């Protein structure tokens, strides 16, 4: 399907763009097409397994998005979403949900997210969250949880109870304590190289843009420091580490000479 600003998506063009993955899933990719609204015709694709609407400018999802009940994989990262409809909980077979780099607030996250019992990966990074729906404690199959670049001061107690969770990314949050909450899980800090999204700065909300610019400035300062070469000590014949290890040899030589 051709890409362009405000490309119109029809049911006919959507059906033609569906491709089979290596695993035999029916996948529709509508990424980076300049879409400002969710194409409602997609709700008629009742047998769609994977849907990629990332890198658009969609501000709102239809209330009946739960009609896409066959979806296993939904990617909505890098849009302008402020909330998610309650009906998302009806997509019971969903295993991967990516909502990173939107404008989501805690009030915009529905409690029905906890109904997605098959969910294995949930990415909520690069949003404006200061809390999480308590119903997420019911996500017994959740393995990966992305919460990086938000406004979380503390993580809910239920995070420790997510029995399948193996990867938790809480980088760049004003958390007061992480280690105790993340015990037994792989907690990603600010050095993590995962969850990288290459988007134009116009696709970032103001808060996220400031975080990125701040991180870039810190990186540039570090790079300048790394470029300063340490003194070479060219006149040093024996390194200190070697000298320490051979001190007893020199002592023995001194005794024999005396």
* Cα–Cα distance, 186 to 144 (Å, whole number): 10
Alpha-carbon gap, residue 254 to 258, rounded angstroms: 6
Each of the 258 residues of the chain gets a pLDDT tens digit; together they read 655 556 799 999 999 999 999 999 999 999 999 999 999 999 999 999 999 999 999 999 999 999 999 999 999 999 999 999 999 999 999 999 999 999 999 999 999 999 999 999 999 999 999 999 999 999 999 999 999 999 999 998 999 999 999 999 999 999 986 655 555 555 554 344 344 444 556 556 566 567 667 766 766 676 666 655 555 545 544 444 444 444 454 455 555 555
Domain segments of the chain: what residues? Answer: 11-215
Topology adopted by domain 11-215: 3.80.10
């Amino acid at each position: 399907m051709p890409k362009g600003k405000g490309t119109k998506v029809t049911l006919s063009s959507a059906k033609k763009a569906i491709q089979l993955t290596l695993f035999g899933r029916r996948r529709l990719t509508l990424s980076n097409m300049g879409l400002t609204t969710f194409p409602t015709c997609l709700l008629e694709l009742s047998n769609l397994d994977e849907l990629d609407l990332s890198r658009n400018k969609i501000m709102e999802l239809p209330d009946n998005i739960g009609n896409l009940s066959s979806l296993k994989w939904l990617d909505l990262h890098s849009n302008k979403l402020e909330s998610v409809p309650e009906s998302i909980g009806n997509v019971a077979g969903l295993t991967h949900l990516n909502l990173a780099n939107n404008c989501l607030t805690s009030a915009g996250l529905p409690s029905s997210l906890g109904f997605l019992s098959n969910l294995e990966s949930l990415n909520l990074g690069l949003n404006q969250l200061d809390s999480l729906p308590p119903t997420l404690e019911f996500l017994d199959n959740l393995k990966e949880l992305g919460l990086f670049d938000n406004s979380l001061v503390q993580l809910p107690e239920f995070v420790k109870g997510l029995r399948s969770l193996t990867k938790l990314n809480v980088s760049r949050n004003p958390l007061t304590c992480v280690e105790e909450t993340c015990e037994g899980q792989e907690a990603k800090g600010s050095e993590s190289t995962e969850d990288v999204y290459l988007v134009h700065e116009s696709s970032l909300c103001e808060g996220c843009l400031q975080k990125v610019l701040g991180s870039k400035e810190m990186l540039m300062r570090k790079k300048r420091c790394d470029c300063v070469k340490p003194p070479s000590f060219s006149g040093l014949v024996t390194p200190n580490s070697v000298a320490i290890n051979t001190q007893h040899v020199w002592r023995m030589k001194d005794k024999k000479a005396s």
